[in-house]
């Protein structure tokens, strides 16, 4: 569209509609009048062009972004690095300052995501391993007497199938069980490696939190991921509540009575430069 004339000294506001490959930017005056809009590629070069184009219309008051944790994550980091005041938007309402994800906590988040998927894949492999073992021919099943999933995986890793006799269900079952056992072993190794990396990173970021009784590396990792790098964005109780408190409902039976309770998990505010 044709840009409206505007003083280069006027304070402006920009909004970004983020997509996977492109970002569409609209510039408004402080009174809400539309000045211009344009589309940019979601690349480092595109981010530079976007910022140069926006500041060409005047002093930037704020830039509103949607999808700061997904499509606009790269642009959000770029703008924060260039000291631009960024606000996260949702359904047309400004809600919060987005979490900064440029430093060590972003590394922790990425490793945590990969670890979670590896744990899920291992669980699936163990379930499949037990299912195949249960339905295997009796001549094979009677030798698989391990009581735990990991024990069964160790037994099945020793199985060897005759590749020329896979028309025999027992040989096919051996091949399947051996493959699943190897998958479990590989995932165990991957998870252990990720745990080692996370131990080092979380110890750097939150040594005090880790020293607390009952706080594991995974607990501490989730706490710092939820809080983010720029903990100062949570300036008041109202801002901290959505991120820092979760109510997890549990129930248990005692004879015929069901009792319910709530576990409140509270993330304490970080004190100075990642000291938890």
Average pLDDT, the chain: 78
72 touches 88 (CB < 8 A)? no
What are phi and psi for residue 124, nearest 5 degrees?
-60, -45
Handedness of CA 14, 15, 20, 21 (dihedral sign): negative
Q: What is the pTM of this model?
A: 0.61
Taking only the tens place, the pLDDT of each residue in 86-141 is: 665 544 454 555 555 557 888 898 999 999 999 999 999 999 999 999 999 998 88
Q: Could you give the dihedral angle defined by the CA atoms of residues 63, 65, 68 and 71, in that order, rounded to the nearest 10 degrees?
A: -120
Q: What average pLDDT does range 41-62 have in this prediction?
A: 90
pLDDT of residue 224: 84
Residue 153 has pLDDT above 90, yes or no: yes
Confidence of residue 189 (pLDDT cuts 50, 70, 90): very high
pLDDT of residue 250: 43
Q: What average pLDDT does range 154-161 have in this prediction?
A: 93
Q: What average pLDDT does range 70-95 have in this prediction?
A: 70
Residue whose tokens read 């006027």: 10
**Angle (deg, nearest 10), helices 169-205 and 149-156:** 120
Half-sphere exposure of 92 (CA within 13 A, CB side): 1
Q: Tell how strand 93-96 and strand 86-90 pair up.
A: antiparallel
Instruction: Identify any residues that bridge with 253 across adjacent strands, giving them in sequence order.
Output: 258
Residue 265 has pLDDT above 60, yes or no: no
Of 6-15, 165-174, 195-204, which range is least confident?
6-15
Range among 3-7, 18-22, 89-93, 264-268 with highest mean pLDDT value: 18-22
pLDDT of residue 145: 87
Q: pLDDT: is 62 or 235 the higher one?
A: 62
Residue 71 has pLDDT above 80, yes or no: yes
Count CB-CB contacts under 10 A for residue 251.
8
pLDDT of residue 226: 80
Q: 192: exposed, middle or buried (C-beta count within 10 Å: 0-12, 13-18, 19+)?
A: exposed
Taking only the tens place, the pLDDT of each residue in 20-43 is: 899 999 998 888 888 999 999 999
Helices (H), 206-250: 207-210, 217-227, 237-244
Instruction: Identify any residues that bridge with 114 across adjacent strands, giving them in sequence order.
Output: none
pLDDT of residue 254: 46
25 touches 50 (CB < 8 A)? yes
């Amino acid at each position: 569209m044709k840009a409206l004339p505007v003083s280069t000294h006027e304070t402006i506001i920009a909004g970004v509609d983020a997509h996977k490959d492109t970002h569409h930017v609209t510039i408004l005056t402080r009174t809400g009048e539309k000045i211009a809009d344009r589309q940019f590629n979601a690349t480092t070069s595109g981010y530079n062009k976007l910022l140069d184009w926006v500041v060409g219309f005047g002093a930037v008051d704020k830039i509103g972004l949607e999808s700061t944790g997904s499509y606009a994550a790269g642009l959000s980091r770029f703008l924060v690095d260039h000291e631009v005041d960024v606000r996260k938007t949702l359904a047309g309402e400004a809600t919060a300052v987005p979490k900064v994800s440029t430093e060590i906590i972003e590394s922790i988040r990425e490793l945590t995501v990969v670890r979670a998927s590896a744990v899920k894949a291992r669980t699936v492999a163990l379930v499949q391993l037990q299912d195949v073992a249960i339905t295997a021919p009796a001549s094979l099943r009677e030798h698989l007497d391990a009581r735990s999933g990991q024990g069964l995986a160790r037994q099945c890793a020793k199985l060897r199938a005759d590749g020329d006799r896979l028309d025999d269900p027992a040989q096919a079952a051996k091949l399947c069980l051996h493959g699943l056992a190897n998958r479990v072993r590989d995932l165990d190794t991957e998870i252990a490696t990720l745990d080692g990396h996370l131990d080092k990173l979380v110890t750097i970021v939150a040594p005090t939190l880790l020293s607390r009784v009952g706080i594991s590396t995974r607990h501490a990792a989730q706490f710092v991921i939820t809080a983010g790098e720029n903990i100062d964005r949570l300036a008041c109780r109202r801002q901290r509540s959505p991120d820092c408190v979760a109510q997890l409902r549990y129930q248990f039976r005692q004879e015929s009575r069901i009792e319910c309770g709530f576990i409140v998990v509270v993330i304490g505010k970080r004190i100075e430069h990642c000291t938890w």
